[in-house]
């Protein structure tokens, strides 16, 4: 079997075109969705991420603001900026790029963001909303994975999904989203003694670890759907995922590549969440 690729760039283009169309419709009603991206310090990877996020907003004609601060910014000053953005009616989404410098308590900053503008979905209120099935913002990366599964018309009901990784921003919310779609979910992590025993049972595997070749062909049931969230570098310095793409492609039915898979979908879902936040703000006005 040679797996079909789920193309994150192509799916992103489709969804971003819809975001642009919906944004134009909101603008016609006098409201421009706005995202504020806050970067503290000069982490090179973070600089690339925020640039891509702002560019994606511009391409979809959303209003965006990039606030850049020195790594020496105090926690109190950052909290004050977040509070100002919470009260800014032109801003519907606030994203504070992680990681923050060590002297700033990242969780405290995330909790300072209004849950109504928490388009990254990291606030404890957003996590609670996802867990209880209430309206809130879903974290962008697992949300993007769900869109990729939806795009191939795959019905998760009764399927066995294995998530490798249990972080608050990918693994755990991913598991909850799969559960919400009626999959039976197993979460594996670094203390799981026999990963292969679990993955071999899986109809759907999401790898979110951050280590190359965590998932190889011998660990995958024929016909499984494989999503690769990982972002690593190989010996040549090229971007690669957690999955041995060439090997697993021979066994799986669908697979996401790295690059060009989950990565672009993460930014796309940030736009989707910002648009949704603006729509909620508009309906709250009426």
Query: Which positions are annotated as active-site residues?
Result: 53, 97, 120
Q: Which is nearer to ligand NAP, 34 or 263 (CB)?
A: 263
Q: Which spans of this chain sit near ligand NAP (rule: CB under 6 A)?
A: 141, 164-167, 169-171, 188-192, 195, 208-211, 214, 229-232, 262-263, 266
CA 93 to chain centroid = 15
| Residues contacting residue 87 through CB under 8 Å, at least 6 positions apart | none
Report, in Å, the least distance between residue 64 CB and ligand NAP: 19
Rounded Cα distance, 153 and 201, in Å: 21
Report, in Å, the least distance between residue 140 CB and ligand NAP: 7
Report, in Å, the least distance between residue 29 CB and ligand NAP: 32
Report, in Å, the least distance between residue 208 CB and ligand NAP: 4
User: Hey, what are 61's tokens?
Assistant: 């004609």
Q: Which is nearer to ligand NAP, 81 or 160 (CB)?
A: 160
Phi, psi of 18 (to 5 degrees): -65, -40
Report, in Å, the least distance between residue 162 CB and ligand NAP: 10
Sheet holding 160-164, edge to edge: 4-5, 254-255, 225-228, 204-207, 160-164, 184-188
Q: Which is nearer to ligand NAP, 185 or 188 (CB)?
A: 188
């Amino acid at each position: 079997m040679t797996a079909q690729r789920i193309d994150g760039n192509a799916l992103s283009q489709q969804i971003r075109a819809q975001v642009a169309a919906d944004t134009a419709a909101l603008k016609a009603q006098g409201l421009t969705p706005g995202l504020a991206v806050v970067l503290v310090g000069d982490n090179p990877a973070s600089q690339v991420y925020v640039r891509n996020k702002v560019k994606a907003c511009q391409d979809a004609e959303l209003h965006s603001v990039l606030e850049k601060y020195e790594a020496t910014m105090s926690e109190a000053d950052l909290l004050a900026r977040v509070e100002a953005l919470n009260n800014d009616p032109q801003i519907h989404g606030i994203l504070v790029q992680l990681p923050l410098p060590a002297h700033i308590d990242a969780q405290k900053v995330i909790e300072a963001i209004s849950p109504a503008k928490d388009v990254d979905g990291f606030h404890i209120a957003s996590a609670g909303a996802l867990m209880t099935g209430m309206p809130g913002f879903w974290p962008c990366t697992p949300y993007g994975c769900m869109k990729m599964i939806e795009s191939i018309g795959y019905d998760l009901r009764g399927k066995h999904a294995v998530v490798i990784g249990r972080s608050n921003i990918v693994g755990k919310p991913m598991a909850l989203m799969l559960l919400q779609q009626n999959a039976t979910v197993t979460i594996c992590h670094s203390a799981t003694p026999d990963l292969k025993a679990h993955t071999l049972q899986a109809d759907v595997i999401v790898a979110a670890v951050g280590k190359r070749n965590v998932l190889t062909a011998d660990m995958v049931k024929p016909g499984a759907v494989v999503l690769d969230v990982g972002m690593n570098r190989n010996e040549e310095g090229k971007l690669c995922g957690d999955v041995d793409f060439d090997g697993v492609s021979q066994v799986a039915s669908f697979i996401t590549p790295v690059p060009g898979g989950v990565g672009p979908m993460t930014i796309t879902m940030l736009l989707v969440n910002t648009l949704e936040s603006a729509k909620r703000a508009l309906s709250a006005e009426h």
